[in-house]
Amino acid sequence: MYEVEISKRKTFAIISHPDAGKTTLTEKFLLFGGQIQTAGAVKSNKITKTAASDFMEIEKQRGISVATSVMTFPYKGKWVNILDTPGHKDFAEDTYRTLTAVDSVILVIDCVKGVEEQTKRLMEVCRMRKTPVIVFVNKLDRDGKDPFDLLDEIEDNLDIQVHPLSWPINGGRDFKGVYLLPNKSLNLFESNKTKKADDIVSIDGVHDPKLPQIIGTKDADKLIEDIELIEGVYGDLKIEDYLSADIAPVFFGSALNNFGIQELLDTFVNIAPNPLPRNTDTREIAPEEAKFSGFIFKIHANLDPRHRDRIAFLRVCSGKFERNKAYKHTRLEKPVKFANPYTFLADSKEVMDAAFPGDVVGLYDTGNFKIGDTLTEGELFTFKGIPSFSPEIFKELINLDPMKSKQLEKGIQQLTDEGLASLFTQEPGSRKFVGTVGELQFEVLQYRLEHEYNAKCRFEARSIHKACWMTGPEADLKDFMRYRQQNIAYDKDQNPVFLAETAYILRTAIEKYSEIQFHTTSEF
């Protein structure tokens, strides 16, 4: 039974640089999966319906995704789980964590801009984890780079070999559609932003005499030349090369116009890997194992602003997750059970009774969970490989309304539990320092504290170079913490942290206290 369910699951993330069209592509997948009837234009201010996967108020206002959304839909006998990730670099940490919960990735590239900085960083994480990648080159209806140049750019900059499975006929205003290499047919372009296009023309390869009549002699000659070159250079795609993350299949299209999506989705459900084994601190866990296990890769407060709720997102790794069954929380070593576990379509939730490897389940959380926590049927282990970074920017949280101190305290605790930022508290006086990877998080924190917790605050920059966790002999640690008392704060788990103001101060501390190890992540 497990094998049948596991073989249906396809769990993947869509990643890209901001504005490459990732959220639009997610929405179009839901359209093809029959989950939504028409697609709302993501950027249009005239249309009040925003993208299905952008549900936080600040995302709707700014037109960017700042939290990973989870969406599930059935498609051609498979059960597809999409994790739509923030493209903005300030939220890279959320994306890196999400990549631990998926089995493959679709990378969206804007044909006008080509490979951008954030794309490189995301691909580094995929390569590090050997995650299979399919590339979707978007916005073909705009004047962009030559497709051969784009393929070279992807190979050179992302350090992965590519293999085109569709090929564009012209681009920009002259874009006529794509030629599909696997089944030697044409998909003709028609600008259609809200409905599914179905314009596949069956031809017998590029040498079919009907081709010049359909697309014109000049374009037919160019296509013949391009396809002969592609077939000579790339040959046939070997699925095992894709699964071992050595080769990335490439599709061309326009997500906004629903073009090229069908072929991408059909190929994806055919070749993308089913749920894969996962490493823990004791052994490898195979998805086919009968006993349930899974880990928390994301926590989100206030998915529904009308109710103060926290949802922990659990990736099922093995066995069967069941509603109302008690599982072991391995960090706290205590049993937990869930009356209303959820599956998602962006912000709408449905209670589910069972989930299988590859599925993502939403669990109501009263404060038991941290990112990286593991649930099992009794065995004690922890899933590995969930990255945690030292913050790069530090600011002090200043309360602007003393009457709302409780709300501010609760709000900053819950929002930092999501992994959006790190919180350090300094005594005496309970001064709160917030550390993030980018400036935009402070804006999001301030906005959400005011609108979700009714707490007004501001953030004041502080000159802190690094936050370092410390391990070493107790006597040395006590001595150091007494000596640098004004630079010691405590993280959320009450671990002491050294907030070093400059690289020089940190270097001096390391030299003077050689018995103490200073760590730049909390996973020591």
**Mean pLDDT value of segment 477-504:** 89
How confident is the model at residue 460, as a pLDDT? 93
For residue 147, pLDDT over 80 is answered with yes
Radius of gyration of the chain (CA): 25
Predicted local distance difference test score (pLDDT) of residue 21: 75
At residue 270, does pLDDT exceed 80?
A: yes
What pLDDT score does 305 carry? Answer: 53
Task: Enumerate residues 6+ apart whose C-beta is below 8 A from 264.
Answer: 106, 134, 136, 251, 253
Which letter, b or e, does each residue of 386-420 get, where b requires 16 or more Cβ atoms within 10 Å of its Cβ?
A: beeebbebbbbbebeeeebeebbbebbebbbbbbb
**Higher per-residue pLDDT: 379 or 90:** 379
User: For the purposes of burial, counting CB atoms within 10 Å of the CB of 129, is it exposed (0-12), middle (13-18) or buried (19 or more)?
Assistant: middle
pLDDT in tens, 320-341: 999 999 999 998 889 998 988 8
Quickly state the pLDDT bin for 273 (edges 50, 70, 90). very high
> Is the pLDDT score of 375 beyond 90?
yes
Render pLDDT for 406-441 as a digit per residue (tens, 0 to 9). Answer: 999 988 988 887 777 889 999 878 899 998 877 877
The arithmetic mean of pLDDT across residues 115-120, rounded, is 81
Whether 150 contacts 158, CB under 8 Å: no
Check residue 35 and give its pLDDT: 58
Please state the rounded mean pLDDT for residues 100-106. Answer: 90
pLDDT at position 55, please? Answer: 45
Band of pLDDT at residue 93, cut at 50, 70 and 90: low
Predicted local confidence at residue 500, as pLDDT? 92
Farthest-apart Cα atoms in the chain, separation: 85
User: What is the model's pLDDT at position 171?
Assistant: 74
Give residues with Cβ within 8 angstroms of 421, minimum separation 6: 391, 415, 434, 435, 436, 441, 442, 445
Contact 142, 253 (CB under 8 A): no
DSSP 40: P
Same fold, 2-271 and 278-376: yes
Q: How do beta strands 293-301 and 278-279 pair?
A: unpaired
Task: Report whether the peptide linkage leading into residue 273 is cis, meaning its omega lies within 30 degrees of zero.
Answer: no
Q: What is the pLDDT of residue 434?
A: 92
The domain 278-376 having CATH identifier 3.40.50.300: the answer here is yes
pLDDT of res. 196: 46
Highest mean pLDDT among 112-126, 147-161, 407-421: 147-161
Q: How confident is the model at residue 45 (pLDDT cuts 50, 70, 90)?
A: very low
Nearest Cα neighbor of 77 from 317, 296, 270, 305 is 270
Q: Tell whether the model's pLDDT for residue 366 goes beyond 80.
A: no
pLDDT of residue 86: 60
The whole-number average pLDDT for the span 72-95 is 72
What pLDDT score does 224 carry? 85
Query: Of 56-60, 89-93, 238-242, which has the strongest mean pLDDT?
Result: 238-242
Q: Are 381 and 283 in contact (CB under 8 A)?
A: yes
Confidence check: pLDDT of 350 > 90: no
Superfamily of domain 393-519: Peptide chain release factor 3, domain III (3.30.70.3280)
Structure token pair of residue 114: 């080509």
What SS3 state is found at 422? strand
Of the ranges 50-54, 60-64, 253-257, 407-411, the best mean pLDDT one: 407-411
**DSSP per-residue codes, 147-185:** HHHHHHHHHHHH--EEEESEEEES-GGG--EEEETTTTE
Top CATH class, 2-271 = alpha beta
> Six-digit token pair at 441?
């998080």
Confidence of residue 50 (pLDDT cuts 50, 70, 90): very low
Which residues are CB-neighbours of 471 under 8 A, at least 6 positions away? Answer: 516, 517, 519, 524
User: What's the burial of 157, exposed, middle or buried (CB within 10 Å: 0-12/13-18/19+)?
Assistant: middle
Model pLDDT, residue 46: 32
Q: Where are the domains of the chain?
A: 2-271, 278-376, 393-519
Mean pLDDT of 387-408: 85
pLDDT of residue 49: 42
For the stretch 276-322, pLDDT in tens is 999 888 899 999 999 999 999 888 765 555 555 678 889 999 999 99
Decide if 59 contacts 18 (C-beta within 8 A): no
Count Cβ atoms below 10 Å from residue 509 Cβ, excluding itself.
19
Range 466-494 average pLDDT:
89
Average predicted confidence (pLDDT) for the chain = 81
